[in-house]
């Protein structure tokens, strides 16, 4: 039977091994990023992409990684892939002004100018609010608001006068209201990210079909760099919807999911 000292020794060994593996991985990630950055500074953009892509292939996510990949692809004229990785970076860091600037700049090189369907201004505000933070950002806000509710509740019982209690009560109601809104936003965002998929066209131009069949009628033509919603998939085909409401089918290797 293992005694307590032996048990804690085993636990400590596992913790040290785990921490050491994290340190090694972090060091390896840093080395690859630095190598890619060096290639980029030297104007060797293909080699920079190769280094950055190693991390992507390993499943690493990071706004800086995607941003650097976007910059590298833009430098070699692959606008679709540049916009794809700017969008990926923006998804992880929605308030980053550098990412927004470069994304907008890259979009100036696209051919398609799609006019989105008009929406009610309240829906526009809701979408802007929803996209102002990532899921982790909204979760952090909810946690902070929850702590405020706990503190306000405790303060209510220690208030020295009825006036202070009323002030604390009103403050608590206001914080609870904001907390409820934040929870609603997080739920909507989680549901949106799980159900609504978007992608970027990476082929120079694509003929959209009316059905998932190469012999079907041509619906319209779209070009590299256009952002589309991905609504359905059938074998090697994916159904796309444009911002103006047009719908059609394309082969799934022409589009990359954000």
Q: For residue 60, give the nearest of 37, 11, 26 by alpha carbon.
A: 26
- Per-residue model confidence as pLDDT tens digits over 183-225: 998 998 888 877 779 999 999 999 999 999 999 999 999 999 9
**Which one has a higher pLDDT value, 192 or 243?**
243
Which of 85-89, 116-120, 137-141, 214-218 has the weakest average pLDDT? 116-120
**Average per-residue pLDDT for the chain:** 87
Predicted confidence (pLDDT) per residue in 15-61, tens digit: 444 444 444 467 788 888 999 999 999 999 999 999 999 999 988 88
pTM, 2 dp: 0.72
Cα 184 from chain centroid?
19
pLDDT tens across 91-120, in order?
999 889 999 999 999 999 999 988 876 766
Output the CA angle 175-177-183, nearest 5 degrees. 100
pLDDT of residue 130: 80
Q: What string of DSSP letters covers 207-242? A: EEESSSSTTSPEEEEEETT-EEEEEEEETTEEEEE-
**How far apart are the C-alpha atoms of 229 and 116, rounded to whole Å?**
12
Angle between helical axes of 4-41 and 63-75 (0-180°, round to 10): 20
């Amino acid at each position: 039977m293992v005694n307590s000292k032996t048990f804690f020794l085993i636990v400590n060994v596992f913790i040290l091994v785990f921490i050491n593996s994290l340190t090694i991985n972090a060091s390896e990630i840093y080395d690859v990023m630095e190598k890619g950055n060096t290639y980029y500074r030297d104007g060797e953009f293909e080699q920079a992409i190769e280094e950055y892509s190693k991390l992507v292939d390993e499943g690493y996510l990071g706004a800086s990684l995607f941003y650097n990949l976007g910059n590298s692809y833009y430098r070699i004229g692959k606008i679709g892939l540049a916009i794809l990785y700017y969008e990926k970076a923006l998804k992880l860091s929605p308030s980053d002004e550098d990412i927004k600037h470069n994304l907008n700049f890259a979009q100036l090189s696209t051919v398609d100018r799609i006019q989105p369907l008009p929406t009610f201004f309240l829906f526009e505000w809701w979408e802007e609010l929803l996209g102002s933070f990532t899921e982790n950002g909204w979760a952090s806000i909810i946690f902070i608001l929850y702590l405020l509710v706990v503190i306000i509740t405790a303060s209510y019982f220690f208030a020295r006068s009825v006036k202070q209690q009323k002030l604390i009560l009103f403050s608590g109601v206001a914080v609870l209201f904001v907390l409820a809104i934040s929870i609603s936003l997080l739920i909507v965002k989680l549901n949106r990210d799980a159900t609504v998929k978007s992608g970027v066209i990476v082929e120079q131009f694509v003929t959209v079909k009316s059905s998932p069949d190469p012999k079907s009628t041509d619906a319209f033509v779209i070009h590299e760099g256009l952002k589309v919603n991905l609504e359905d998939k059938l074998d090697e085909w994916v159904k796309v919807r444009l911002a103006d409401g047009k719908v059609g089918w394309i082969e799934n290797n022409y589009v990359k999911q954000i």
